[in-house]
A and B are shown apart, each in its own frame.
Chain A
Amino acid sequence: GEDVEQSLFLSVREGDSSVINCTYTDSSSTYLYWYKQEPGAGLQLLTYIFSNMDMKQDQRLTVLLNKKDKHLSLRIADTQTGDSAIYFCAEGWDTGNQFYFGTGTSLTVIP
């Protein structure tokens, strides 16, 4: 499969910004996604970006895409304790067959 890499852990203080990074290898993907997984639950889509975009902002979330370096990041502004979760980046294609997920980054927000 494709390689989608993330660092495993991130800790931030409440109120600070969090930046979660992801690198991928296949530049043919149509979409790049960020999913959130809370303890004991399935994954829920946070946001996605088309591969021909550089940035997308959605309230506290900012997604940056550097296609040249195949690097995707998720910035969470004013991080709250409720943001503590595992965050997965993923690649997808508009042919609707497979997604490739990263290893997940466990975000811990310290009060």
Chain B
Amino acid sequence: NAGVTQTPKFRVLKTGQSMTLLCAQDMNHEYMYWYRQDPGMGLRLIHYSVGEGTTAKGEVPDGYNVSRLKKQNFLLGLESAAPSQTSVYFCASTGELNTEAFFGQGTRLTVV
């Protein structure tokens, strides 16, 4: 059981470039989340999804888009990367009981 898998693990982008981060879970979870982690600020929710085909904005959605075309995948897109988006990005998923969130290993993104 792989759990939650994020790709890529590391990426360096130039300002203005675009990229997509992929999150895949094999636990048949309904809920999926994208967070960013910055020093001293904890985890902040970017976007989330409560089921296939649905997405919603979290606390810091600007500059990001998401899609949930398949239940097991949740994609995070940066259309035009900015240095302020340098961060570590975590994907998570939960089942219906919401007693535990399972996290991926993170994607370290640097925008120069």
Chain A residues within 8 Å of B, Cβ to Cβ: 1, 4, 6, 8, 30-31, 33, 35, 40-45, 48, 88, 92-104
Q: Contacts A42-B90, A98-B45 hold; do A1 and B50 have CB atoms under 8 A apart? A: no
Known A43-B103, A45-B101, A97-B48: A103·B40 in contact at CB below 8 Å: yes
Count of CB-CB pairs between chains A and B under 8 Å: 73
Contact A104 B42 (CB under 8 A): yes
Binding site for A on B (CB under 8 A): 4, 30-31, 33, 35, 40-45, 48, 50, 56, 58-59, 90, 92, 94-101, 103-106
B-chain residues with CB within 8 Å of residue A6 when the two chains form the complex: 42
User: How near does chain A come to B46, taking the closest CB pair, in angstroms?
Assistant: 11
18 sample A-B contacts, Cβ–Cβ < 8 Å, listed by A number = A4-B42, A8-B40, A35-B101, A40-B106, A41-B106, A42-B4, A42-B90, A42-B104, A42-B105, A45-B101, A95-B98, A96-B30, A96-B31, A97-B31, A97-B56, A98-B48, A100-B45, A103-B41
CA distance A88 to B90 in the complex (A): 14
